[in-house]
Amino acid sequence: MRKWLTGSIFLYFLYGLLVYWYLFIFSGTGVPAPYEGSSADPSTFMSGRELLLSQEYSTIKNFLFFVTVPFEWFLLFVILITGISRKMQEWSNVTSRFFSLQSAVYFFWLSLLISVISFPVELLGFRISKSYNITTQTFSAWMKDQLIDFWVNYALMTVIVIVLYWLIKRFEKRWWLYAWLLSIPFSMFLMFVQPVLIDPLYNDFYPLQNKELEEKILAIANEADIPAEHVYEVNMSEKTNALNAYVTGIGSNSRIVLWDTTLNRLSEEEILFIMAHEMGHYVMNHIYVGIAGYLFLSLFGLFIIHLLMKLMIKQFGSLLKINSIRELTAFPLFLILLGVLTFASSPLANTVARYQEKSADMYAIEMTNNNEAAISSFQELSRAGLSEVNPPALVKIFRYTHPTMFERILYLEEHGEKESGSE
């Protein structure tokens, strides 16, 4: 056990050094020379101080992302190899003779342990965002959101754990298939209730107060055959200075949502472009394409997890203190494999998402026909969130579900030049 712990700590430390070298030393900043001075060059729309803060903030946040992703895997591995997971199962077994209650107790202790150990890292992220004036929340308000996160995730995951292990115990060879089949209605249900049950736990939503702007947004929605009756505003200014807008939910619970920070900092023309972009996702059925892609990857992923868990328990069961896949003790191994496969598949998922975002951008520019407002909206988004305009390649591959701001402004510029040339 000492040998495995020492080896894993050394590998994690080496990985952290490589990430640090890549982000802080190897990766360059700025835009390619041919585009210096263009509207995609941050030096044309950011002050010198904003450029410096943007580079610092983005690099630190990227570093934290890459080192904290495997940290949870490492933590779960330690929980297994030290026998903590087995001890928590023993505690849960004496609380009740009902497996559902045993599962709830086991997952509570597992969630609590992970949350407590991970709290310093979460707090560091909050402090960094606060120091760069991205986060505006007070510590008490942030802690409230952390507690809501814990209990919402615990409630949802407890249901998943109970159903998952019931399936494993009942259908040990085909549990992955039945789990996937049940995940379809469960995922659709969550997407349906999220706008009305989950999101309001964190923020207050209300109809857009600027009725003149709402009418213009709804006119674009009507032109796109989107059955929207209201545009919702959310009071994010008490939490952040960043800007955002989105469409959430499915069916009758679909909502068009604008952050009040976006309303306060963008012009009407810029807001209309942003909203047309969000409507583009609806028109092009991106949410359903995303669901289909998620279902395909989850089916493949659950099958791979099934095979790997069987293999690893057979080869390393004594080291991990796991006797069978049917034990709750094995759940951290399931989470490790799920996390690794999710991270490994993120470049593919992000590539598809970036293609969809570009399609929505082009839809929005066709709807609004205002290149100037489109470009200035992206520039202001970058300034408000201290976003890196042209991030390192690995950051883009693993983190960016949207094209980089450099790419977005560049292809909008090219579109504007084509339109000017055709007139």
- pLDDT per residue over 213-236, tens digit each? 888 888 887 877 776 677 889 999
Q: Is residue 243 a part of any domain in this protein? A: no
pLDDT at residue 180, rounded to an integer: 94
pLDDT at residue 413, rounded to an integer: 84
Q: Is residue 67 a part of any domain in this protein? A: yes
Confidence bin at 421 (pLDDT 50/70/90):
low
Which tens digits make up the pLDDT trace of 163-212? 999 999 999 999 999 999 999 899 888 888 888 888 899 988 888 888 88
Q: Is residue 281 a part of any domain in this protein? A: no
Per the CB < 8 A criterion, the answer to whether 51 and 29 are in contact is: no
Residue 258, beta-bridge partner list: 233, 245
HSE toward the beta carbon, residue 412, CA cutoff 13 A: 33
- Mean pLDDT within 252-264: 85
pLDDT at residue 420, rounded to an integer: 59
SS (H, E, C) 52-116: HHHHHHHHHHHHHHHHHHHHHHHHHHHHHHCCHHHHHHHHHHHHCCCHHHHHHHHHHHHHHHHHH
Residue 246, beta-bridge partner list: 257
Q: How many domains does the chain have?
A: 1
Cα–Cα distance between 254 and 283 in angstroms, integer? 13
pLDDT at residue 422, rounded to an integer: 55
Contacts of 381 (CB under 8 A, 6+ apart): 243, 387, 405
Q: Is residue 2 a part of any domain in this protein? A: yes
- Mean pLDDT within 282-308: 89
pLDDT at residue 423, rounded to an integer: 54
Coil vs helix vs strand at 233? strand
Per the CB < 8 A criterion, the answer to whether 276 and 145 are in contact is: no
Single out the residue of 375, 401, 420, 275 nearest to residue 41, CA to CA.
375
Residue 258 has φ and ψ, to the nearest 5°, of: -120, 130
Question: In the chain, what are the helix, strand and coil shares in percent, each to the nearest 5?
Answer: 75, 5, 20
Q: Tell me the residue range of the domain where 303 lies.
A: 1-202+286-421
Q: Is residue 111 a part of any domain in this protein? A: yes
Annotated binding site for Zn(2+), which residues? 277, 281, 357
In this structure, of 84-98, 162-176, 205-219, 331-345, the range with the lowest mean pLDDT score is 205-219
Q: In Å, how far are 69, 397, 411 from 388, measured between CA atoms?
A: 21, 14, 17
Q: Is residue 255 a part of any domain in this protein? A: no
Residue 239, pLDDT > 80, answer: yes
Q: Is residue 294 a part of any domain in this protein? A: yes
Marked catalytic residue, from 278, 372, 414, 419: 278
Residue 275, pLDDT > 60, answer: yes
Residue 286, pLDDT > 90, answer: no
Mean pLDDT (the chain, rounded): 90
pLDDT at residue 220, rounded to an integer: 80
Which tens digits make up the pLDDT trace of 118-139? 999 999 999 999 999 999 999 9
41 is catalytic: no
Confidence bin at 36 (pLDDT 50/70/90):
confident
Q: Is residue 110 a part of any domain in this protein? A: yes
- H or E element at residue 320: helix 286-320
278 is catalytic: yes
* Helix spans in 194-267 (H): 211-223, 260-265
Annotated binding site, which residues? 277, 281, 357
pLDDT at residue 221, rounded to an integer: 79
pLDDT at residue 392, rounded to an integer: 93
Marked catalytic residue, from 41, 233, 361, 407: 361
pLDDT at residue 409, rounded to an integer: 92
pLDDT at residue 342, rounded to an integer: 94
Residue 295, pLDDT > 90, answer: no
